[in-house]
Amino acid sequence: MNSNGKSKSSLLRNNAVQTLLASLLSIVLGLLVGYIVLLIINPAGAGQAIINILKNYFYYPSEVKVKQYFGSTLVKTAPLLMCSLSVLFAYKVGLFNIGAAGQYVAGAGAALYCALNLKLPWFVCVVAALVAGAVLGAVSGMLKAYCNVNEVISCIMLNWIALYSVNMLLAGVKDSTSPYTIGIGSVNEAGLIPAAGLGVFFANNKYVTIALPCSVIMAILVWVVLEKTKLGYELRATGINKQAAKYAGMREKYNIILTMVISGALAGLGAAFFYLTGMEQWAVTQTSIPGMGFNGIAAAFLGGLNPIGTIFSSYFIQHITSGGSYVDKTLYCSQISDFISAIIIYLCGFVFFFKLWINRMLDKRDEKAAKTQKGGEA
Amino acid sequence: MLLLAQYTLIFASVLLLVAMGGCFSEHSGVINIGLEGIMVMGALGGALMMKFLDPSVPAIVMILMVILAAVIMGMLYSLLLAVAAIQFKADQTLVGTAMNMLGTAAATVAVRAINSAESPDNVSSAIQYIEEKKAFLININGFEFNWFMVVAVLVLVASYVTLYKTRFGLRLMACGEHPQAADSVGINVYKMRYAGVLISGALGGLGGIVYITAGVSEWKFENGVAGFGFLALAVMIFGQWKPVNIALASLLFGLFRALSNVYTGFPLLLSLKLPGTVYNMLPYIISLIVLAFTSKRSRAPKAEGIPYDKGQR
C-alpha cells in the first residue's frame, strides 16, 4: 500500500503531469467562467450554448457535414499551430515574441502578393511568406541585440507597421466590389497549396491541403531542434542566462537574432499555410491585427510550452473559436468563445504558482508520512 | 488648421492620460502591456454611463459621472493584472496580452447582451451617445474645445507633483528601481505595486473614454481601441518615463495621429500623394527609430517586469 502511495505522489511531482493538470484546470475554469457569463446574459440557453461551443462541427447531424467542418477547423488550426510554435520557440530562448501577429501579417502579405500579383507557384509563395516573417523577426532581434530595445515593444510597433504596409501592398490586388483580395483560385490556380488527395478524408473539403501534415511536421522539428541539437541547447542556454552563455563562448547576440529569425519564419509560414489554401481572403481595410498571433500565445502557454503539447492546445483553441459560431445568435454573440479563450490564457499565467502550490502540498504530505512512520518504528 | 489643432490636442490628451498610467505602473515595477484592454473597459464604463444618464442632466454632473464610471471600471479591470502579477507572480507580458484580448471580447459580449436585451433585433456591438457627448464640448469659433483636455493637463500636473514631490511618489519609484532596498527601509513593496497598477487602471480607463468620444459619437466595441494603448506605451518610452517628456511626446504623436485624419485638408500634404495609411504608420515607425537610438541609455525602471519575492536576496 505504501509503494502505491509513493508512485502516486511521484506521478504528481512529474513536471509534465503538473503542466497537463494546470492546463486542464485552466480550460475547465475558463469554460466555467464563460458558462457563468452566459447564465447572466440569458439563463435559458446557457447550457445549450456552451455545449454547442464544445461540439463545434458535431452540431451537424449529417456525417458529411461533420467531416467537412472538421476539415475546416483543422485548416485553421495549422496557422494557429505555427504561430504558437513561433511564440514558444522565442520563449524558450527568453524572448516574448508578441510580434508573431505582425510576422503572420507580413507572411500573409508576401504570400498573397506573390500569388495574386506575380502569379508565382505555391512553393515560391510559401518561401516568400517565410522570408517576410523572418525579416520582421530579424528586425526585432537586431534591435534587441545591438540597441537594447525590448523585443516586446519593438514587436508591438512592428505589428502595426506590418498591418498598414500589407494593407497598402494588397490594395493593388483587391477585388473591385469588396474590401477583400481576389480569390487565388480564380487568377492563379498554381498558387494554391496542393491537396494531394487529403480532401477525401474530409468529405472533399477543398481547403484541406498538405499544409496540415506540414504544420505537424514543423512542430516535431521544433521539438527536435530545441531538445536534441547543439543549436537548441545553445539557444536555451542563452535564454536562461545571457551572461553565462557569453562566458561559455556562445555568441549571445547572434543567438538572439537567430531566434527571432526562426520565430518570425514560423509565424510567416503559418500565414502561407492559411491564406494559400484560399479559404479566406485578406480584407485590405482592416484596422486591427488578425488575432491569430495573439491566439498563438494562448496556445503556446496552454500547451505547457511543449511543441507536441501545442498541437493539441492549438486544436482546442481553434475548436472552441469555431464553435463560437454555433451559439444561438438571437441570445448570445460568437465573441463568447474569444472571451473564454482569453480567460484561459489569463489563467495560464497562474501555472507557475499552481506548480509551486502542488509541490508544497506534496512536501507537507511527505513530511507527515515520514513523521508517522518514524513514530511507528519507535 | 483649426481642425488639426483640435484633433492633435484631443489625441494628445488620450495618449498623455494612458501613458501616464503606464508610467505609474512601470515606476512601481509592473509592466502594463494590458493598457489597451484597460482602455476598452474604461470606455465601456463611460459609454454605459452616458447611455443610462438622462442627456438633460447638467453638463458638470454628466462629465463627473462619466469620468467616475470610466475610472472605476479601469481600476477594477486593472486588478486582474495586479492580483496575477503581484500576488501570484505571473508573467506580466502574458497576463497583459490576455487582458487585451479579454477587454475587447468582454466589452463586445456585454454591449451585445445589453443591446439585444433592449430590442431583440439589435445585434450590433455599438453604443451611441450623440446628445450626451455635447456636455463635454464647447464650440469656440469653430474650435471644438473638449473638457477632457483640461482633465489631461490636470492629470499631468498632479502626476508630476505626486511622483517627484510627495513621499508616496518617491517610494513608488523606489519599488521599481530596487524593491529589496525599498523593503529594507520599511516600504511595503506589494502595497506600492498595487497602488501603481490601480493608478494606471484609473488613468487608462479615463483615456479610454476620452478616446471613444474624440471625433465620433458612437463606438463599436468589436474594434477595441485600435492600438491606442500600444501607442501610449510607445509614448511612455519615448518620454523616458518622465511626466513632462511624456507630455511633449504625446503632443508629437497626437499630431501624427491627427494628420492621418485631416491630411486631406492640406494641399502640401495632399500633393505628396501618400496614401492615408502612411500617416497611420508614422508614429510607430518614428518611435521604433527613436527607440533604436535611445535604448542603450534607457531610463526604464530597473526592476520592472520582475515579480518581487520577499524571500529572494
Cell numbers for A25: 484546470
Residues 151-190 of B with CB under 8 A from A: none
The string over A23-35, giving b where at least 16 C-beta atoms fall within 10 Å of a residue's C-beta and e elsewhere, is beebbeebbebbb
Calculate how close chain A gets to B58, using CA atoms only, in Å: 33
Question: What local confidence, expressed as pLDDT, does residue B313 receive?
Answer: 56
b/e per residue A337-372 (b: at least 16 CB within 10 A): bbbbbbbbbbbbbbbeebbeebeeeeeeeeeeeeee
End of a domain among A326, A342, A367? Answer: A326
State chain B's mean pLDDT as an integer: 87
Assess whether A97 and A216 both reside in one domain: yes
Does residue A64 fall inside a structural domain?
Answer: no
Please give the single-letter amino acid code of residue A279. M
- Count of domains forming chain A: 2
Sign of CA dihedral A126, A127, A131, A137: positive
Lowest mean pLDDT, pick from A78-82, A248-252, B35-39, B270-274: B270-274
Task: Check A349 against B104: CB less than 8 A apart.
Answer: no
Whether residue A65 is contained in a domain is answered as no
Task: Give me the CATH number covering residue A182.
Answer: 1.10.3470
Per-residue pLDDT for B279 more than 70? yes
Boundary of a domain, candidates A297, A326, A355: A326
Question: Does A308 lie in the same domain as A217?
Answer: yes
- Predicted pLDDT at B244: 93
Residue A350 lies in a domain: yes
Domain hosting residue A216, numbered range: 77-326
CA distances from B111 to B44, B124, B128, B219, B222 (A): 8, 8, 11, 10, 9
The residues with which B143 forms a beta bridge, in sequence order, are: B140
Per the domain annotation, does A352 fall within a domain?
Answer: yes
Q: Are residues A223 and A296 in the same domain?
A: yes
Q: Residue A120 domain-assigned?
A: yes
CB A75 within 8 A of CB A279: yes
CB contact under 8 A, A335 and B89: no
Rounded to the nearest integer, the mean pLDDT of chain A is: 86
8 A C-beta contact, residue A282 and residue A180: yes
Contact A350 B84 (CB under 8 A): yes
User: Cβ of A352 under 8 Å from any chain B Cβ?
Assistant: yes
Residue contact B94–A297, C-beta within 8 A: yes
Cβ(A165)–Cβ(A179) under 8 Å? no
Give me Rg for the CA atoms of chain B.
20
C-alpha cell at B20: 501616464
Query: Does residue A345 share a domain with residue A315?
Result: no
Q: Report the gap between the CA of A197 and the closest CA in chain B (Å).
A: 37
Q: Do both A157 and A177 map to the same domain?
A: yes
- Cα–Cα dist A299/A79, whole Å: 11
* Spatial CB neighbours of A140, under 8 Å, sequence gap ≥ 6: A97, A99, A149, A151, A154, A155, A158, A260, A264
Both A370 and A294 in one domain: the answer is no
Domains, chain B, with CATH or none: 2-116+128-137+151-297 (1.10.3470)
Q: Are both A351 and A263 inside the same structural domain?
A: no
Please answer yes or no on whether B291 and A96 come within 8 Å at the CB atom.
no
Q: Is A283 on the interface with B (CB under 8 A)?
A: no
What pTM was estimated for this model as a whole?
A: 0.88
What pLDDT is recorded for position A2? 46
Is there a domain that residue A72 lies in?
no
Is some CB atom of chain A closer than 8 A to the CB atom of B275? yes
Q: Which of A156, A291, A335 sits opposite B230 (nearest CB)?
A: A156
**0.90 surpassed by complex ipTM:** no
Statement to judge: residues A29 and A104 lie in one domain: no
Q: Give pLDDT tens digits for A320-347.
A: 888 888 877 777 787 888 888 889 889 8
* Residue pointed to by grid coordinates 496540415: A212
Q: Does A58 reside within a domain?
A: no
Q: Does A338 lie in the same domain as A229?
A: no
Cβ atoms of residues B115 and A323 within 8 Å: no
Q: With 60 as the cut, is the pLDDT of residue A377 above it?
A: no
Single out the residue in A326, A343, A367 at which a domain terminates: A326
Mean pLDDT, range A54-62, rounded to an integer: 79
